[in-house]
Amino acid sequence: MKREEIVMLCTNDLGGQTRGKGFPLCDLEDRLKKGIGWTPTNSMITSHGPIAPSPWGPFGDLVLIPEPASRIRVDFGPDAAAEHFILGDIMQLDGTPWAVCPRSFLKRVLAEIEIRHGLKVKAAFEHEFVYEAVEERPNSSYALDAFRRQGLFAESYLGAMKEAGLAIDTFMPEYGPKQYEVTVGPAIGVAAADQAVAVREIARAVAHNLGGRASFTPILRPDAVGNGVHVHFSLIDAATGEPVNYDASHSDGISARAGSFVGGILANLPAITAMTAAATVSYLRLTPNRWSAAYNNLGYRDREAGVRICPVFQKSEIARQFHFEFRAADAAGSPYLVLGAILAAGLQGLDASLPIPQVCEGAPQNLPEQRLRELNIVRLPQSLTEALDLFEADKVLENTIGAELKAAYLAHKRFEAKMMEELPLEEQCVRYAKSY
């Protein structure tokens, strides 16, 4: 029987889920021009299935318009369906961006950074995930044995990413149970978030074709090491393409513009955690002494800092290597919302010309309260509900995020939080492992 290849035109939604509609490959050229119909209330489908209270109900029509550069196709051979999808923007019928589209939100923030400050953003997402087909064993961290036991997954995964056009960086066994880490090269602007979606979906596709599952859940169980998403970022001059992050005259090497940008991220980090750590179980990770961010501090090569200054390896190329890493994120958040929230906070810092923040020496949990106040360091929210409260109360980023997106996100996530918090933590972890 002759098969008809299907292309999925997708959005990564408020819950970090990749959803869309399919069409036959023979219609690709036509769909690249006209897109495909979409419904506003689709955005209120939670990661666990039930639909959060929708302000639109059964009303309204939108259109999902593809971005051809985001197209991903991986051929799994004659006995399996190809993985073929394109990411797009949710638009109004008149062609204007829909206010609740995560990808359009990120594009809007990127445009404002360039218009107001002449800067572009280079970013890369570093992902940790669980490959469930591997037996959990002690002493597997970074071990050759842990790499060996995943069998053909890594080779197939890296091959699939290469076929999809991603720049492969590293793959390794990580510290947690059945945990692996994958990194790809950086990209400019919205392409970095497109790549993050592709990295996750290709992992799931490869695992599925091998008879297993890959889960990007924030944490496998309450006592486990969590799966983080570390967002590496740097600023470049939009006109010249040159990096503008490094200043050799500063004690920590931070330029004034990069310092203002990072200062904005740190100042707004407690509120944007609602978007960057978007699951109830995310907050099991964000605790001190767990190699995960628990405070809004700037650290120098500190893997528990909210933002850390990353190491450089060749002194002659410091300016090109010098960049930062945001660590209070995981894959429960849409890459577009995660990066968009980080950049919206950084934009506020640029607009306000905030001073370069001081590096926190040592672990914040070990510092006296007076020193924390001097450094403007506070504990990050300890639950999704607390994070949502801070996000709702925040007025600094409200205009940048937009009232409609903010209201929809709050309704979506408050419904999810209530649904999950009625369950024991162990069951919450099981539900998120299945969803992500």
Query: Is residue 138, in this structure, part of any structural domain at all?
Result: yes
Q: Examine residue 89 and state whether it is found in any structural domain, yes or no.
A: yes
Q: Is 316 contained in some domain?
A: yes
Residue 78 shares a structural domain with residue 124 = no
Same domain? 173 vs 241? yes
Q: Provide φ and ψ at 222, rounded to 5°.
A: -55, -30
| Cβ pair 330, 277 in contact under 8 A | yes
Clarify whether residues 120 and 146 are in a common domain.
yes
Which amino acid appears at position 264 of this protein?
A: G
- Within a domain: residue 47? no
CATH number at residue 62: 3.10.20.70
Give the per-residue pLDDT at 315: 66
Residues 73 and 110 occupy one common structural domain: no
Residues 79 and 140 in one domain: no
Largest CA distance in the chain: 73
Q: Do the domain assignments include residue 67?
A: yes
Q: Judge if 91 and 108 occupy the same domain.
A: no
Quote the pLDDT of residue 316: 66
The per-residue pLDDT for 174 is 93
In the prediction, which pLDDT does 302 show? 86
Q: What is the pTM of this model?
A: 0.97
SS3 197: helix
Residues 268, 158 share a domain? yes
Residues ≥6 apart with Cβ < 8 Å to 343 = 106, 109, 110, 113, 121
Considering the domain architecture, whether residues 294 and 400 belong to the same structural domain is answered as yes
pLDDT at position 189: 98
Assess whether 335 and 362 both reside in one domain. Answer: yes
Whether residue 118 is found in the same domain as residue 90: no
- Read off the amino acid at residue 416: E
For residue 340, being part of any structural domain is answered with: yes
pLDDT in tens, the chain (436 residues): 789 999 999 999 999 999 999 999 999 999 999 999 999 999 999 999 999 999 999 999 999 999 999 999 999 999 999 999 999 999 999 999 999 999 999 999 999 999 999 999 999 999 999 999 999 998 888 999 999 999 999 999 999 999 999 999 999 999 988 999 999 999 999 999 999 999 999 999 999 999 999 999 999 999 988 999 999 999 999 999 999 999 999 999 999 999 999 999 999 999 999 999 999 999 999 999 888 899 999 999 888 999 999 998 876 689 999 999 999 999 999 999 999 999 999 999 999 999 999 999 989 999 999 999 999 999 999 999 999 999 999 999 999 999 999 999 999 999 999 999 889 999 999 999 999 9
Under 8 Å between Cβ of 77 and 69: no
For residue 1, being part of any structural domain is answered with no
Structure-derived torsion over alpha carbons of residues 177, 310, 326, 164, reported in degrees to the nearest 10: -70
List the domain range (segments joined by +) for residue 31: 7-40+55-96
Q: What share of the chain is helix, strand, coil (3-state, %, to 5)?
A: 40, 20, 40
Rounded Cα–Cα distance for residues 414 and 421 (Å): 10
Q: What is the pLDDT of residue 1?
A: 75
308 and 417 together in one domain: yes
pLDDT at 280: 98
How many domains are there within the chain? Answer: 2
* Residue 50 within any structural domain of the chain: no
Buried b / exposed e across 394-408, counting CB within 10 Å, b at 16+?
beebeebbbeebbeb
* Domain co-membership, 385 together with 281: yes
Please state, in angstroms and rounded to a whole number, the distance separating the CA atoms of residues 47 and 28.
29
CATH number at residue 153: 3.30.590.10
Q: What is the pLDDT of residue 354?
A: 98
Angle, alpha carbons 10-206-71 (nearest 5°): 35
